[in-house]
Chains A and B, each alone.
Chain A
Amino acid sequence: AQKVTQAQTEISVVEKEDVTLDCVYETRDTTYYLFWYKQPPSGELVFLIRRNSFDEQNEISGRYSWNFQKSTSSFNFTITASQVVDSAVYFCALSEANQGGKLIFGQGTELSVKP
């Protein structure tokens, strides 16, 4: 069965600290896609990144970076030099190729960045 686990419910850091949000997934499919979304207090889910199961290259986008490791079924997200505007709930999600685009979300990690 497909499942996404975000073990960290809440994380609190001070501005400029680095922070890593963990995501572990389960799937039987060989073709699948992983996503990270940000949900600020306004409620809108903002797309951050998509990786497919055949591409294990890590990715960096500004202060954001993602570490995809199939061997451990993990897709972790690191924010470098965190800022107050990074405060939000972050969701990791999984989509399998033959499931009509259905996103299976983890429970989310609430990140609080204090000044």
Chain B
Amino acid sequence: DAMVIQNPRYQVTQFGKPVTLSCSQTLNHNVMYWYQQKSSQAPKLLFHYYDKDFNNEADTPDNFQSRRPNTSFCFLDIRSPGLGDAAMYLCATSRFPSGTSASTDTQYFGPGTRLTVL
């Protein structure tokens, strides 16, 4: 089945120790998104890639970086995790960023990676 896969599902890191979260997709979608969801809050967009074009949200801290080496994979790097970065990180994909039908711009989410910072 075509899907969005996130590894690992649970990640524990230490304060200040760099960590990388992984997302892969078999949908062959052009756009990949990273969201941060803190406990009992709504998901918040950090950034997205449209093909190789990186689009950062204005309020995303510099501590968060992303890489997309190919269509299938996208990584979220947290350079120096703080306690406030503990959250669920959700990856999503869509065929295009916007469109005229559900088949073009609906975002499909992976299962998420729950990050704990000690």
Q: Taking beta carbons and an 8 Å cutoff, which residues of A are in contact with B?
A: 33, 35, 37, 42-47, 50, 52, 91, 95, 97-103, 105-108
Contact = CB atoms under 8 A, between A and B. Distances in A.
Interface string B98-118: 101010011111111010000
A77 B97 CA distance: 25
Contacts, number: 61
Contacts of B55: 100
Given A95-B105, A99-B98, A105-B42, 9 more contacts: A33-B105, A44-B110, A44-B112, A46-B109, A100-B98, A101-B31, A101-B105, A105-B44, A108-B42
A107 B48 contact: no
Interface residues of B, number: 29
Contact of A35 (B42, B97, B106): B106
Contacts of A52: 100
Contact of B102 (A37, A50, A103, A105): A50
A52 to B, nearest CB: 7
Interface in B22-46: 31, 33, 41-45
A56 B45 CA distance: 27
A104 to B, nearest CB: 9
B111 A44 contact: yes
B74 interface: no
B45 A103 contact: yes
Given A45-B43, A101-B31, A95 B111 contact: no
B111 to A, nearest CB: 4
A97 B98 contact: yes
A103 B43 contact: yes
Most chain A CB neighbours (cut-off 10 Å) among B42, B55, B100, B111: B42
A44 to B, nearest CB: 4
17 contacts: A33-B105, A43-B88, A43-B112, A47-B106, A52-B100, A95-B98, A100-B50, A100-B97, A101-B31, A101-B96, A101-B107, A103-B107, A105-B42, A105-B44, A106-B42, A107-B41, A108-B42
